[in-house]
């Protein structure tokens, strides 16, 4: 394949691998043509249709035109994954771990370039993109050693001359679908343990970050991954994504791992359920953060501010309902609003010190503007926020030219109660809703009152309150004197209720998502022995005890 240029760096993507070179001019951001990767080869879609990946922080900056994958392309990727499965699953797990370790080292080598590419493609800040690429690195390094720890057990039999064993076995072909808000960390959360367990994958890249996905896939192959183990297809959720889900009904997919909206997750769950296919669903959230009177208010303000507006509020773990005890409500809100008013917003590729950048895409912006209308329809009081930032409508902290990208004001709504729709609706964007709590029990009730259960947090220096919160909250994750956001590669990640079903992401627990237990009994006696039926019964003998002699 010919060399292709991208971002403020040039990336030469060759069939043999991937190398990065700095461009002389950081504003030289040429666009390129992208491909699917099927069985290790660059592949075009059968009908030639394409879509653009556009920088949301600089809309005139089109990074790449990628192929819209047809059903034929998805089928070809599935064929390659099925063909690669026997050899890959038979590869010793420590060898699979070594390849994954190579991936981590290549990510470290190219980290700075990947960070700039990700920042350009989805508009997140360089600092956040750096943390996310590091999460992918940490995942690789963690699972490299798990290749030597895919333990089974030996189990004692109830019969003589017989051995019992358990083994972890791979599921088969896994369909991987992730959102674009975490386009490097989340697919590595999914695919690294999947291939560690011996599975093969068809990865449908996010529509808004296909070029980063392409670069990551090439790094995986450069690390020594055999052809067909991970196959990458691009397109819309209603196109390539739907073709991949439909393949579950066709009996061609053994596992679906999905990160996205609750509505789509429910549809995927229905398809997998009727086919008895395993699925992992990491979905939306309306994450509560409780502030109690004993809290360090400065620390709590920092945590709430970051949880609400980091990543422009486009994390599934972003703060939704900020629940504040009535005794400190006014003081806390005053401190919080001082920070909100000073928020620095802009393109981190051009300006330093910004808290958040653009929305992830025009679609994310459109959806956000629609959902915040619910707050005003419900009668909530808007303390701050004026929709989309323009040259004539911008906060004092905005830097740059507003019309260049898709930028939003930070929004804060007060007077929200649990009978309002905006208390329950997820708002993917820079907006938080303020709720007043009468006491701890009321705060815990409010924290559990939404249909979601992803992340949660409480700021308190009362250890009993902290204990009662972590034992009473119905959520997959809880922070104590920390924000609702943040995950580490070795800690389980996922929610409950409307926020997800299936096994957790990350850590040793995710191995359950990509393997099944195989029980084996090895009869050494040379004869048929039947458990429960051929076991000699042990008769109980009552011992005669002379109690008077024990006195």
Active-site amino acid positions? 316
Q: In this structure, is the dihedral angle defined by the CA atoms of residues 473, 478, 484 and 485, taken in order, positive or negative?
A: negative
Give the Å distances, CA to CA, from 88 to 91, 164, 166, 274, 502. 5, 26, 20, 28, 25
The position carrying tokens 């360089």 is 126
Label the pairing between strands 173-177 and 255-259.
parallel
DSSP state of 238: I
Give the Å distances, CA to CA, from 143 to 108, 220, 257, 507, 511. 16, 14, 18, 8, 10
The position carrying tokens 């920088």 is 55
Label the pairing between strands 319-325 and 477-480.
unpaired
Where does 229-356 have alpha helices with state H?
Answer: 242-249, 262-274, 297-309, 329-341
Q: Calculate the CA dihedral of residues 340, 341, 346, 352 and round it to 10 degrees.
A: -90
As a whole number of angstroms, the distance between CA 507 and CA 527 comes to: 43
Q: How far is CA 549 from the centre of its chain?
A: 70
Give the Å distances, CA to CA, from 227 to 16, 62, 88. 12, 30, 10
The pair of structure tokens assigned to 275 is 């086919």
As a whole number of angstroms, the distance between CA 548 and CA 527 comes to: 51
Q: Which residues pair with 41 in a beta bridge?
A: 38
Q: Which residues pair with 50 in a beta bridge?
A: 67
Phi, psi of 214 (to 5 degrees): -60, -45
User: Is 20 within 8 Å of 9 (Cβ atoms)?
Assistant: yes
Report the run of H or E that residue 221 belongs to, with start and end.
helix 210-222
């Amino acid at each position: 394949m010919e060399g292709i240029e991208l971002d403020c760096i040039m990336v030469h993507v060759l069939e043999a691998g991937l190398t990065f070179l700095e461009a002389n001019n950081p504003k030289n951001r040429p666009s390129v043509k992208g491909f699917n990767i099927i069985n290790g080869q660059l592949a075009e879609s059968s009908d030639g249709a394409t879509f653009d990946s556009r920088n949301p922080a600089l809309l005139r900056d089109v990074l790449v035109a990628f192929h819209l994958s047809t059903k034929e392309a998805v089928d070809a990727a599935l064929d390659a994954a099925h063909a690669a499965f026997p050899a890959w699953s038979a590869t010793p797990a420590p060898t699979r771990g070594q390849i994954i370790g190579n991936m981590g080292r290549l990510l470290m080598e190219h980290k700075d370039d990947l960070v700039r590419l990700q920042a350009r493609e989805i508009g997140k800040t360089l600092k956040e993109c750096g943390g996310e690429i590091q999460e992918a690195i940490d995942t690789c390094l963690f699972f490299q050693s798990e290749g030597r720890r895919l333990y089974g057990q030996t189990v004692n039999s109830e019969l003589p001359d017989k051995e019992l064993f358990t083994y972890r076995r791979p599921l088969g072909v896994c369909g991987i679908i992730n959102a674009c808000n975490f386009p490097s960390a989340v697919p590595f959360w999914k695919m690294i343990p999947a291939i560690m367990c011996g599975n093969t994958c068809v990865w449908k890249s996010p529509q808004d970050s296909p070029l980063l996905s392409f670069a990551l896939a090439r790094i995986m192959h450069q690390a020594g991954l055999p052809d067909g183990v991970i196959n990458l297809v691009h397109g819309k959720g209603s196109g390539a994504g739907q073709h991949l889900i439909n393949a579950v009904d066709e009996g061609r997919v053994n596992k679906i791992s999905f990160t996205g909206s609750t509505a789509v997750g429910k549809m995927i769950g229905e398809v997998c359920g009727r086919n008895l296919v395993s699925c992992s669903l990491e979905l939306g959230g309306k994450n509560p953060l409780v502030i109690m009177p004993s809290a360090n208010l400065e620390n709590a303000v920092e945590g709430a501010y970051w949880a609400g507006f980091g990543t422009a509020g486009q994390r599934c773990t972003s703060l939704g309902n900020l629940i504040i005890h009535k005794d400190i409500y006014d003081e806390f809100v005053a401190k919080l609003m001082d920070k909100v008013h000073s928020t620095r917003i802009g393109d981190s590729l051009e300006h330093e010190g910004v808290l958040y950048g653009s929305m992830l895409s025009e679609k994310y912006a459109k959806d956000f503007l629609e959902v915040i209308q619910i707050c005003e329809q419900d009668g909530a009081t808007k303390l701050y926020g004026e929709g989309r930032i323009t040259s004539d409508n911008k906060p004092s902290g905005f830097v740059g030219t507003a019309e260049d990208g898709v930028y939003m004001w930070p929004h804060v709504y007060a007077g929200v109660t649990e009978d309002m729709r905006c208390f329950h609706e997820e708002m993917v964007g820079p907006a938080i809703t303020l709720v007043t709590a009468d006491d701890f029990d009321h705060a815990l009730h409010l924290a559990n009152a939404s249909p979601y259960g992803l992340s949660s947090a409480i700021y308190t220096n009362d250890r009993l309150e902290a204990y009662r919160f972590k034992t009473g909250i119905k959520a997959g994750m809880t922070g104590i004197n920390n924000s609702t956001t943040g995950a580490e590669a070795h800690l389980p990640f996922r929610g409950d209720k409307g926020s997800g079903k299936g096994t957790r992401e990350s850590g040793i627990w995710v191995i359950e998502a990509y393997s099944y237990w195989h029980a084996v009994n090895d009869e050494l006696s040379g004869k048929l022995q039947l458990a429960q039926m051929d076991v000699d019964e042990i008769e109980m003998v009552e011992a005669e005890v002379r109690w008077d002699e024990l006195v």
